[in-house]
Structure 1
Amino acid sequence: MKRHNDQSIKEVLQQLVEHYRWKGRLHQSRIRELWADRMGTTINQYTREIKIIRRKLYITIDASALKQELHYGRDKIREMVNEELGEDFIEEVVVR
Structure 2
Amino acid sequence: MQSFLDSFNLQTKYSEANLIASWEKIMGRTIASRTEKIFIREHTLFLKISSSPLRQELLMAKSHMIRLINQEMQKNIVEEVVFI
**TM range, normalised to the smaller chain?**
0.7 to 0.9
Could you say what the CA RMSD is over the residues aligned between the two structures, in angstroms? 1.8
Q: How many Å separate the matches in 2 of 1:89 and 1:43?
A: 20
Match of 1:57, SS state, is strand
Q: Which has the higher contact order (CA 8 A, sep 6+)?
A: 2
Q: How many Å separate the matches in 2 of 1:21 and 1:75?
A: 28
Q: 1:45, CA displacement in angstroms? A: 1.2
Q: 1:22, CA displacement in angstroms? A: 2.5
Q: 1:82, CA displacement in angstroms? A: 0.8
Instruction: Count matched residues.
Output: 84
Runs of at least 4 residues off by over 4 Å: none
Q: 1:39, CA displacement in angstroms? A: 2.5
Find 1:92's aligned residue among 68, 80, 84.
80
Matched letter for residue 17 of structure 2: S
TM-score by length of 1: 0.72
Match of 1:31, SS state, is helix
Q: How many Å separate the matches in 1 of 2:76 and 2:29?
A: 26
Q: Which runs of 5+ in 1 are unaligned?
A: 1-12
Q: Which runs of 5+ in 2 are unaligned?
A: none
